[in-house]
Amino acid sequence: MATIQPLREETMIINMGPQHPSTHGVLRLVLELDGEYVVSCRPVLGYLHTGIEKNTEYRTWQQGVTFVTRADYLSPFFNELGYCLAVERLLGIEAPPRAQVIRVMTNELTRIASHLLWLATTGLELGAISIMLYAWREREVILRIFEMITGLRMNHAYIRVGGVVMDLPEGASEQVRDFLDVMPGRLHEYEELLTGNPIWRQRTEGVGHVPGDELVALGVTGPMLRAAGIDWDLRKQLPYCGYETYDFDVPLRTAGDCFARYEVRIEEIRQSLRIVEQCLDRLEPGPVMVEDPKLRWPAELSVGPDGIGNSERYVRHIMEESMEALINHFKIVTQGFQVPAGEVYQAVESPRGELGYYVVSNGGNRPYRMHIRGPSFVNLQATPRMVEGGLVADVVASVASIDPVMGDADR
């Protein structure tokens, strides 16, 4: 009787993805299952590779923005900011104060939108279908604000090297303020629906647990790391855009499971709301782009009813009044500017973790090499560690708690 053979020796291999409802686009997980238990898991990436990094080598420095904004398509402003800060460091310039405030504000609004989308999809994946629509509703408000400011709902290319491409339109800060009034109540609603919900807790507590030291070893950053009790937020540790002057807390939890990640993200939405409020108070009139005519984008853009357009005054100026202005416009738009040779690594705290831009210049008008450290890519490394030994249903919860964006992972 000492050696009873296990009843089931055979395992089943299933491909979860790349076409699967809950693999966030085109993540593919090769799962080896013993009944409902996961024996091993191997993530397969690369289905959304778009060649963004290589493409920027063939475009001017300013044009690079329109590429990187498409990498992590759920938090475009962070990509733009990371790239622009890196190039600005190479140039040795700094955006004017108003631009800095607008950058912080749009970034924090993006963080809220991104976390809301995370909440929506995670809820849907765990079967809580109502939270999906609630979170979507609030995200829609943010996207409307973005559309008003930049003319686009995503892939804005709004933050440019040297500042932002155009000033806030009239009424934008009022809309943001309206949103700030509404959002805390809505957050409370979400928490009423989920935080105390016994099934929600059962599905997330103790699921996908990884201790903090292993997360550090795997290079994981962002809310996942903070949910395991490690205080690492680049806005505090390596501040940029004047984050050190804003008053906000970094939410921490120690459990390191999916529920802790949920709590951290909800709390981060609250903190982002605080930052946005401070931004609104700090908005002083002033330029939004550096004054240097050899760097600044030569246009007066604004969002009209039919999209972004140049002002008539500016067009008349270059077409009729000033030959020099036309030459300048032509030079900057077609050739761009040159960046001193050198290399730089600049990281920003995206909703998913450390989003780093490594940029090398050889002194030309295009990047010599550009590399993105996508937090989704690095965080996905923790997937097998989280799901092996668990159930199939926990795979969904765990992957959702990473909040991967495949555009960010595959680039």
Partner 1 sequence: MIVLGFFLTAPMGIGYMEHKVLAHMQHRLGPMEAGGFHGWAQLVADGVKFIQKEDIIPKAADSWVFTLAPAVVMVPYIAIFAVIPFGRTLWAENLDIGIFYVLAITAISVIGILMAGWASANKFSLIGALRAAAQLIAYELPLILASVAVVMQAGTLSLVGISEAQHHYWYIFTQPVGFFIFIVASLAELTRPPFDMPIADSEIIFGAYTEYTGLKFAFFLLAEYGGIVAFSAIASVLFLGGYQGIPVIGHLIPGFFWMSGKVGALAFFIIWLRATYPRLREDQLQRFAWVALIPLALADIMVTGVVKVLVK
Partner 2 sequence: MSVQEITFVIIAVIGGVSAVRMVTSRNVVHAALYLVVTLAMVGAVYLVVAAEFLAWVQVLIYVGAIVVLLLFSLMLTKAPIGRDTLDNQQRGLAALVGMGVLAGLAFLIQDSFGGSKPITLHQATTEQVGVTLFRGFVWPFEVVSVLLLAALVGAVVIARKDDPAGSRRGPDRRAPLRRGSEATRR
Mapping DSSP to helix (H, G, I), strand (E, B) and coil, where does residue 289 land?
Answer: strand
The answer to the question of residue 396 lying near partner 1 (CB under 8 A) is: yes
Token pair listed for 318: 């270059």
Nearer residue to partner 2 within complex by CB, 210 or 339: 210
Nearest to 309 by CA among 170, 166, 156: 166
- In angstroms, give the least distance from the CB of 206 to partner 2: 6
Residue in 377, 337, 394 with CA at minimum distance from that of residue 60? 337
Site size toward partner 1 (CB under 8 A) is 31
Helical H segments across 1-69, by residue range: 52-56, 64-68
Residue 388's binding partner among partner 2, partner 1, none (Cβ under 5 to 8 angstroms by kind) is: partner 2
As a whole number of angstroms, the distance between CA 380 and CA 238 comes to 24
- The answer to the question of residue 130 lying near partner 1 (CB under 8 A) is yes
Q: Can you tell me the distance from the alpha carbon of 65 to that of 84, in angstroms, rounded to the nearest whole number?
A: 7
- Residue 385 interacting partner from partner 1, partner 2, none (CB closer than 5 to 8 Å by kind): partner 2
Which pairing describes strands 301-304 and 307-310: parallel, antiparallel, or unpaired? Answer: antiparallel
Q: How far is the CB of 394 from partner 1 (least distance, A)?
A: 7
Listing DSSP states for 313-378 in one string gives HHHHIIIII-HHHHHHHHHHHHT-----SEEEEEEEEETTEEEEEEEEE-SSSS-SEEEEE-HHHH
Residue 143 binds to partner 1 (criterion: CB under 8 A)? no
At closest approach, how far in Å is the CB of 48 from partner 1? 20
Q: Which of partner 1, partner 2, none is residue 209 near (CB under 5 to 8 Å by kind)?
A: partner 2
Q: Is 246 in the site for partner 1 (CB under 8 A)?
A: no
Residue 10 binding target from partner 1, partner 2, none, CB below 5 to 8 Å by type: partner 2
127 binds, among partner 2, partner 1, none (CB under 5 to 8 A by kind): partner 1
Question: Which residue in 370, 379, 343, 372 sits closest to 356, CA to CA?
Answer: 372
Under the binding rule (CB under 8 A), the answer on residue 395 touching partner 1 is: yes
| 391 touching partner 1, by CB under 8 A | yes
CB of 389 to partner 2, least distance (A): 3
129 touches partner 1 (CB under 8 A): yes
Show the CA angle centred on residue 372, arms to residues 383 and 82, nearest 5°.
115
Piece of the chain touching partner 1 by CB under 8 A; list 14-22, 173-181, 216-224, 312-320:
14-22
Q: Considering the complex, what minimum distance in angstroms separates the CB of residue 207 from partner 1?
A: 9
From the list partner 1, partner 2, none, which binds 32 (C-beta under 5 to 8 Å, kind-based)?
A: partner 2
Look at residue 235 and give the partner it binds from partner 1, partner 2, none, a contact being a CB closer than 5 to 8 Å depending on partner kind: none
**Least distance CB 194 / partner 1 (angstroms):** 8
For Cα atoms 16, 20, 25, give the angle at the middle one, nearest 5 degrees.
110
List strand residue ranges (DSSP E) for 213-341, in order.
301-304, 307-310
Q: How far apart are the first and last CA of the chain?
A: 56
30 binds partner 1 (CB under 8 A): no
Beta pairing partners, 301: 310
Please give the angle made by the CA atoms of 63, 65 and 68, to the nearest 5 degrees: 125
- Do 21 and 127 form a contact (C-beta atoms < 8 A)? no
d(CA 133, CA 210): 30
* Ramachandran angles phi, psi of 214, nearest 5°: -70, -35
Q: How far apart are CA 216 and CA 229, in angstroms?
A: 11
Per-residue x/- track, 155-194, partner 1 (CB under 8 A): --------------------------------------xx
In the complex with partner 2, the residue whose CB is nearer, 8 or 313, is 8
* Residue 14 site contact among partner 1, partner 2, none (CB < 5 to 8 Å, cut-off depends on kind): partner 1
Residue 145 beta carbon to partner 1: minimum distance, rounded to whole angstroms: 19
Question: Is 257:295 a contact under the CB 8 Å cutoff?
Answer: no
Instruction: For partner 1, give the closer residue by CB, 23 or 346.
Output: 23
Q: Which is nearer to partner 2, 33 or 117 (CB)?
A: 33
- SS3 (DSSP) at 303: strand
Contact between 22 and partner 1 by CB under 8 A: the answer reads: yes
Q: Which residues would be at the binding site for partner 2 (CB under 8 A)?
A: 4, 7-8, 10-13, 30, 32, 35, 39-42, 206, 209, 257, 384-385, 388-391
Contact residues for partner 1, defined by CB under 8 A: 12, 14, 20-22, 33, 36, 123-130, 133-134, 137, 193-194, 197, 199-200, 202-203, 391-396
